[in-house]
Amino acid sequence: MNIQFNQIPNFSLIVCYGPETQEISSIVYNSQEAAEGSAFFCVSGENTDGHLYVEEAIQRGAVAIIGSDREALEAYAKIHGTLTFAVVEDPRIAMAHASILFSDRIQDRLIKIGVTGTNGKTTTATYVYHLFNLLGIPCGFLGTTGIWNSAGKIAYKKSTPTTPLSSDTHNIFSELAAFGDQAASMEVSSIALDQKRVEGILFDVAIHTNISEEHMEYHKVFEHYLQCKLQLFSQAKNAVINLDDKGMAQEILNTVNYPALTYSRYPDSGADLVWANCESQKDGLVFDLLYDGQSYPIQVPLYGEYNASNLTAAIGAALLAGAPIGQVVEVLSKMPQVEGRFQVIQGPEDRKIILDYAHTPVALDLVLREVKKLPHNRLIALIAGVGIRDFAKMPKMARAAEGKADVLVVTVDHPGYHNPDDIIDEVLKGLSMPYKQKVIRARFRREGVIEALKESGPNDIVLLSSGNINGAQIVEDQHIPHSDEEVIEGFFMQQN
């Protein structure tokens, strides 16, 4: 595509050295992915600065370099006179708007649903994905469990655990549209909002699940975390708001000046959508959905009463997208489980192994309470300290689990460069002495899963909380492939 860098809307160009127009073949932020005709954006991260890789990008064929270091780009321009060097206020914002242009505004062809919240993002965004597809609106998904088109998971190397960088997002939008999809459901994290990964996207529906303290290793203070979350609702046409969340609901209501649906579990809340009389049964959840003066009995093959809330949020998105309530209710019984979100695997001798990505104290407390409602003999719970996250959260995870299981297996997810034993010690600081339950240490997740399964017997429940990022465990700077499901399958095959 022929791009005039001084004509890109909202690009915030300060000065351009060299030609203002170039034929661009791709937009990249990783110098190793630069190729003939690429535009390379000097994006800075926590550990590096994209300006350090300009020379490599040029050697690989980049014809345009976009960054914020005027002195550096001016120096390169004197050496490479035929190339374009654009100085901008913020390379992340510039990359987002260049990506929108380069994709020929493909996002405008999709119904875009963005989901934010501390807990429930993945589940709610996946429920939107499944619900839209069941309603005959072909929908893709972008989030923690990968990239999906309406037919299933697609191979895509993600740049981040949750919300892709802007150029990747618009590439994915292009792939979805080419496949024939008409909608995209995506998780939108606080960090993604702060880092302008969804800059320039106007969401058709923004969904709020809840807020509690998280990502303090990044945000430092809760107020910054909250303000980043709120940003999503300034980029939307419609909103779905959880009235039961006292941490953020009112702030959103004060922000929006467009159509919104509220949801709650309490009939006297005044919410537009209410999920009431919820019960956990052997085959899933049953509850009453109250909407527009009518009550609809709902039975879904999903587990965890809090997932009635997440499902109601997805229903709100479908209604705001124009789906009739009768059609929505009709398809709910076909909703699939969400990978790694109260995902129930049936084991031998009536064991149940439940995979749930609960990785905050609030989420872990909720999932443990829900698991205990299921018929069982003993409960074995695996909890993890996440080495690449906030160490201050680790003891809180233990406190959330204390006394709620017969056995706690304490392990490590994504140790990074930390000693796994140090992480386990940090988690264990949250437990009372003497321990209120049996405690087992496991230095790595695979070992922890096996230890939890070894502890189980007939009619026991094994809860495996926390989990992978992009199907891997991060050890030092390596992404080591890991699958709890494969470990479970291998364990029970060896028992036969």
CB 123 within 8 Å of CB 307: yes
Q: What is residue 483's DSSP assignment? A: -
Q: Band the pLDDT of 213: cuts 50, 70, 90.
A: low
d(CA 361, CA 394): 9
Q: Band the pLDDT of 495: cuts 50, 70, 90.
A: confident
Range(s) of the chain covered by CATH 3.40.1390.10: 2-102
Residues 65-73: what's their mean pLDDT?
Answer: 97
* Fold held by 343-495: Protein-Tyrosine Phosphatase; Chain A (3.90.190)
CA 343 to chain centre: 17
pTM score of the predicted model:
0.85
Range(s) of the chain covered by CATH 3.90.190.20: 343-495
> Is 106-334 assigned to CATH 3.40.1190.10?
yes
One DSSP character per residue, 404-429 reads SSSEEEEEEE--BTS-HHHHHHHHHT
Range(s) of the chain covered by CATH 3.40.1190.10: 106-334
Structure tokens given for 488: 């479970």
Q: Band the pLDDT of 156: cuts 50, 70, 90.
A: confident
Determine the CATH number of domain 2-102.
3.40.1390.10
d(CA 197, CA 174): 16
Among 460, 459, 458, 463, which Cα is nearest to 484's?
Answer: 463
Output the pLDDT for position 388. 78
Q: What is the pLDDT of residues 354-380, one digit of tens each?
A: 999 888 888 899 899 989 988 899 999
Q: Which residues are CB-neighbours of 166 under 8 A, at least 6 positions away?
A: 92, 95, 96, 99, 196, 197, 198, 199, 200
Q: What is the pLDDT of residues 258-287, one digit of tens each?
A: 999 999 999 999 999 999 999 988 889 999
Q: Kindly report the CA angle at 175 between 169 and 176, in degrees rounded to 5?
A: 90
